Amino acid sequence: MDINRTLTTMTRMKLAAAAALSSLALLTGCATPLAGKTPDEATRKVMLQNWQNASYNFDAQIGFDKLAFTDADSDGGAKSAKPDIADIIDQVGRSIRVNVSGAVDVPTGRVEAIPELRFERRNLMSSIKVPLQFHAQDMSLLVDPSAVDLFLPSLRKQSGKFIRAKLPAEIASQIPLKAMYQAMPKIIDDAYAQADKQAFSFQPLDAYAGEIGAHYKLRMDLSREQEQKLTLQMLEGLAKVAREQAKPSTDKPGEDKSGAEAMIRLVQGLIKLDPVSGDKSRTVSDIYASRGGDLLALRQKVHIEAPEFSGDAYVNVRYSHYGKPQFVYQLSENDIVDFDKLDLPDWLKDTDKLLPGEHAEAPAAAAPAEPQAQAAQPQAKPKKKRKARRAQ
């Protein structure tokens, strides 16, 4: 027996096994969540994964590349605005931009958004920024009012603090936030599954994909009608969840519609009344995803055609810090003052009564009690006069 030949054979077998294992590892690594999927299936997967992994930072820019208004003529038709006015409108539209940075962390129930409205020209720049936070645990919205406290001197007494407004308990209890969130993956998937398959496509990677490290670029090209249908179907799904979770009212047994469902129906109505033409308006969305299917960026071109105006807008969103979102403001109770404890001017007092609920109805019901008691005495006197007249 040739020992050298045996050792050589064993070495070759080990090398072959190592090569096979390496090839298997490479093949396994290539089997990404988007591999082998059609464009519409890949898009649905990315959108679902983004919702399910809702813990990240985002930065968005919204603005116009073109904006033109039209005037109505004497016959009721539309005509272009005067050239000088049209040019001013277009230039103003292009100079306005909205930047929004923020963080989403569903496990802790926090959302932070810092919108900034900017007007910028070569030698002119103005902006206003209003930081916001939403806390799902107590359904509260926190606002930094420093951008407007110049006009509300009483707010300057709370300088540096966020103002907190909470939904009344009777309204908050009617919003099944947890159930709606849990139902969203199926609602999103069902809505996108109904969209035209021809609206989705894979696109070649571009320079921006290389800049953010994207391995996939998907495109979704929807008409206004298709986009409207998609949105309405999602709202219908949310309304169904709200209706199923609603607790029947003991005071008003015939009214089973929850406050959440009523708000959703209102949004549905507004979308249906949208005057934007469905034939000419379109939204082209480029979706950039990682090898693992995470949504890295969304870049939209929106063409709008309406009776009063037309325009080309853009919406660019970049996602980052998946799993470890970074919040700009770490607020404690010492950094917050409740809205109902503010010393507000008269025109802002009783603002909470604009919200529906028992807290607004109670004062209205109690107020007439005293006038009615006072009015009872004057009503008795005319009867005596009538009797006196009859006696005469």
**Separation CA 145–CA 126 (nearest Å):** 18
Rounded mean pLDDT, 316-323: 95
Highest mean pLDDT among 77-91, 110-124, 252-266: 110-124
Rounded mean pLDDT, 223-240: 89
pLDDT at 89: 86
pLDDT at 251: 54
pLDDT at 115: 96
pLDDT at 205: 97
Q: Provide the residue count of the chain.
A: 392
Mean pLDDT, the chain, integer? 79
- Structure tokens, 189: 């998937």
Asked if the model's pLDDT at residue 11 lies above 70, the reply is no
pLDDT in tens, 368-383: 444 444 444 444 445 4
| DSSP code per residue over 134-154 | EETTTTEEEE-GGGTTTT-GG
pLDDT in tens, 272-291: 766 555 568 899 999 999 99
C-alpha distances out from residue 288 to 31, 99, 218, 229, 280, Å: 18, 20, 7, 24, 26
pLDDT band per the 50, 70, 90 thresholds, residue 307: confident
pLDDT band per the 50, 70, 90 thresholds, residue 43: very high
Q: What is the pTM of this model?
A: 0.75
Look up residue 64 and give its DSSP letter: E
pLDDT in tens, 136-194: 988 999 999 888 777 777 777 777 889 999 988 877 877 888 888 889 999 999 999 99
Cα 228 from chain centroid? Answer: 15
